[in-house]
Structure 1
Amino acid sequence: MNIKKLKKMSSIAALKYITKDSILGIGTGSTVITFIKQLKKVSNFIRGVVSSSKISSFYLKKYNIKIFDSREIDNIEIYIDGTDEINDNMQMIKGGGGALTGEKILAGMSKTFVCIADFTKKVSILGKNNPVPIEIISISYSFVKKKIIELGGYPVLRKNFFTDYNNIIIDVYNLFLKDPVKIEKKINNIPGVVTVGIFSIRKADVALISHKNKIEEIKK
């Protein structure tokens, strides 16, 4: 199984969703880096992009793709991002790379959210294979940790890591999400939480899932 090839397949498939003179939202992660490499081939077709993270901005600059400040943009027509896990309802866990806050903002700004992934990211229940990342203000660590344990999760501080906004991340294990919307709302309401990497309220509109010999296109 060639994961690199699968990432390229879904990245190429996403290009058809790009419209002329549009401004794209760009997520973060290894699949997105693969997409950016494909995007450079059609960069003259678009006005530019809004980036979700410093690392994505680094690659966009590397390929001379124009970056807009999100504060200058009211909405985004298409947002393209990868995922850590995605279920049959197009709900996701994201934030393994630590850019969940920027990703959630751009997803919320977008008219259409296109998720690009390989078939290994599909799960029946979110949280089965990956922890749920939560970006928090550092002073709230003990309090948030206690509240997450009360929800049945096992929180672990992501060591030596700070987000683009100088916050910390806890990765929550054993938080199987049979009702992702309910848990997303509960965690977001804990004081000190910036955002949680559950994308169930603003979920994907389109998922492009690469398999060995085909692209599975799912629309909600």
Structure 2
Amino acid sequence: MTDPAIADLSKDAAARAAVALVEPGMRLGLGTGSTAAIFVRRLAQRVSEEGFALRCAATSKATAELATSLGLGVEELDEIGWLDLTIDGADEVDPDLNLIKGGGAAHLREKIVATASERMVVIADQGKVVDRLGQFHLPVEVIPFGWQATRKLIQRALDRLDLTQRPILLRKRGDAPLRTDEGNLILDLALEAIPDAEALAAELSSIAGVVEHGLFLNICELAIIGCPDGSVVELRREDMA
């Protein structure tokens, strides 16, 4: 397990490198999570020092509130129309730059923003880089109506993919079910490993009641991985061929 202090240094290294990608006047997507929050703070510092303008769309209410409190202008995605760049964190990054996201319960908005961008860049510490996706629980956002029936359909889909007897956990905040910004529920799939992410994504997307899953496939172009010494490693999609 990565030491929290080392992870924070690594996250900050990745965030600082990502801030350097931002150009004045950009239409920028702001991610959600601990690493994305560090990026937002570093970005606000640079904007304050250099005095240039940005148009930002946030992937969660929490990110919007943080960015606004730091002086960044946040607009609705529909007001901006299309984004030049989205910078966000990830819970897992595999060698093909496929991701699991949703640990912060914002993967629906995160995927909308990421796919409404010319480029998506992920920032993470080394502990998020994995050989195969699945050790981190895969979040699936579902509507509250009939959610237990939706869970049964998800279980049947897992059975078809030989992922039998994998726990499907209702995410909670305290004693109550966690609600997303859209008022939905999160089911966390404890899969251990995902042998075929494309097949799983297709199965989940076909289920009535599933709003969105946390598999981000063929979306990320660049991953900036922070190291404890302040350096970064850049993984690019073209390098994976």
Distance across 2 between alignment mates of 1:170 and 1:219: 31
The match for 1:170 is 187
The 3-state SS of whatever aligns with 1:207 is strand
Instruction: Answer 1 or 2: which has greater strand percent.
Output: 1
Alignment of 1:190-205 (within 5 A): 190-201=207-218, 203-205=219-221
> TM-score scaled by structure 1?
0.95
Q: What is the one-letter code of the residue matched to 2:170? A: L
C-alpha displacement at 1:118, in angstroms?
A: 0.3
Residues 23 and 78 in structure 1, CA contact (< 8 A), matched pair in contact too: yes
1:37 aligns with 2:41: yes
* Distance in 2 of aligned mates of 1:177 and 1:68: 36
Written as runs of structure 1 = structure 2, the 5 A alignment for 1:26-175 is 26-43=30-47, 44-128=51-135, 130-150=136-156, 151=158, 152=163, 153-159=166-172, 160=176, 161-174=178-191
Counterpart CA distance in 2 for 1:39 and 1:195 is: 29
Give, in angstroms, the shift of residue 172 of structure 1. Answer: 0.6
Aligned length: 218
**Cα distance per residue 1:149-183 (max 9 Å; x no partner):** 22134210012310000011111102522221221
Aligned partners of 1:46 and 1:215: how far apart in 2? 27
Deviations 1:30-70 (A, max 9, x none): 00111111001222333221000001011101101000111
Identity of aligned residues (%): 30
Closer, same or farther: CA 207–46 of 1 in aligned 2, 3 Å: farther
Quote the Cα distance in structure 1 between the aligned partners of 2:194 and 2:116: 25
Q: Which residue of 1 aligns with 2:222?
A: 206
Task: Give 3-state SS (helix, strand or coil) of 2:169's partner.
Answer: strand
Question: What SS does structure 2 have at the residue aligned with 1:17?
Answer: coil
- The offset of 1:148, in angstroms, is 2.1
SS at match of 1:115: strand
* Partner residue, 1:4: 8
**Separation in 1 of the partners of 2:42 and 2:99?**
24
Asked which structure has the greater RCO (Cα within 8 Å, sep 6+), the reply is: 2
**TM-score under structure 2 length normalisation:** 0.87
Q: What amino acid sits opposite 1:157 in the alignment? A: L
* 1:72-119 deviation line (CA, Å, top 9, x unaligned): 122110000000001000000000010010000001101110000000
Q: What 5-or-longer segments of structure 2 have no aligned partner?
A: none
Tell me whether 180-189 or 147-156 shows the greater mean CA deviation: 147-156
SS, match of residue 115 in structure 2: helix
Alignment of 1:186 with 2:193, yes or no, is no
CA contact (8 A) 2:150 2:207 kept: yes
Q: Distance in 1 between matches of 2:206 and 2:117?
A: 23
Greater Cα offset, 6-15 or 41-50 = 41-50
What is the CA RMSD across the aligned residues, in angstroms?
A: 1.2
